[in-house]
């Protein structure tokens, strides 16, 4: 609930540039900014597959459950699958809040790590959904997935054939 509130608040605010322009007395103490350059992403999908959806509720807001399976690279080295389930609540025709959970696993299925997320989705130009979210990884004993242990990341997903990305907060 708190992550959803923070996420909604973050994405409904004007851009950071506008905020800094309005509040010149704002001092940013931590200059370690996270790069959202795709080359800095810890995960990127190269294949995304829609598996299924079902309507959960229509009132007071439409809620849909969706399932996806992606294949991608972790740290540009480890081939993984990302099994995902989302409950999306449509606040309007072009805005939704999603809660997700899933598992990232090595392609041999021997190692995995679970995660939960809270996302905001916006429909752009009435054709493509773009999602931004916070993702919390659990613990794993897998050496190949250990860089995700108990970490928090930012995610970006785009409907269609574009890759999904995750950046870790440090």
| Confidence class for position 22, pLDDT limits 50, 70, 90 | very low
| pLDDT at position 126 | 87
| Confidence class for position 36, pLDDT limits 50, 70, 90 | confident
Distance of alpha carbon 158 from the chain centroid:
10
Mean pLDDT of 114-141: 95
Mean pLDDT of 118-145: 94
Burial annotation 118-154 (CB, 10 A radius, 16+ → b, else e): bbbbebeeeeebebbbbbebeebebebbeebeebebb
DSSP sequence for 84-147 = EEEEEEEEETTEEEEEEEEEEEETTSS-EEEEEEEEEEEEETTTEEEEEEEEEE-----STTGG
| pLDDT at position 84 | 96
Mean pLDDT of 41-55: 93
CA distances from 19 to 34, 56, 154 (A): 18, 38, 21
Query: What are the beta bridge partners of residue 130?
Result: 122, 158
pLDDT value at 18 more than 50: no
Residue showing tokens 């931004």: 132
Mean pLDDT of 119-135: 94
pTM of the model: 0.77
| pLDDT at position 112 | 95
pLDDT value at 54 more than 80: yes
Domains of the chain in start order, with CATH, are 2-168 (2.40.160.20)
């Amino acid at each position: 609930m708190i992550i959803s509130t923070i996420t909604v608040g973050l994405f409904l605010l004007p851009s950071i540039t506008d905020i800094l322009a309005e509040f010149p007395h704002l001092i940013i103490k931590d200059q370690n900014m996270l790069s959202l350059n795709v080359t800095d992403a810890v995960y990127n999908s190269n294949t995304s597959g829609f598996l299924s959806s079902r309507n959960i509720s229509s009132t007071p807001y439409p809620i849909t459950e969706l399932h996806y399976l992606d294949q991608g690279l972790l740290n540009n080295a480890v081939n993984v699958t990302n099994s995902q389930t989302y409950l999306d609540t449509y606040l309007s025709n072009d805005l939704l809040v999603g809660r997700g959970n899933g598992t990232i696993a090595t392609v041999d299925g021997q190692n995995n790590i679970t995660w939960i997320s809270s996302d905001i989705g916006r429909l752009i130009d009435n054709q493509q959904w773009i999602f931004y979210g916070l993702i919390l990884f659990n613990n794993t004993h897998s050496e190949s997935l250990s860089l995700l242990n108990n970490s928090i990341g930012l995610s970006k997903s785009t409907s269609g054939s574009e890759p999904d990305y995750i950046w870790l907060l440090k």
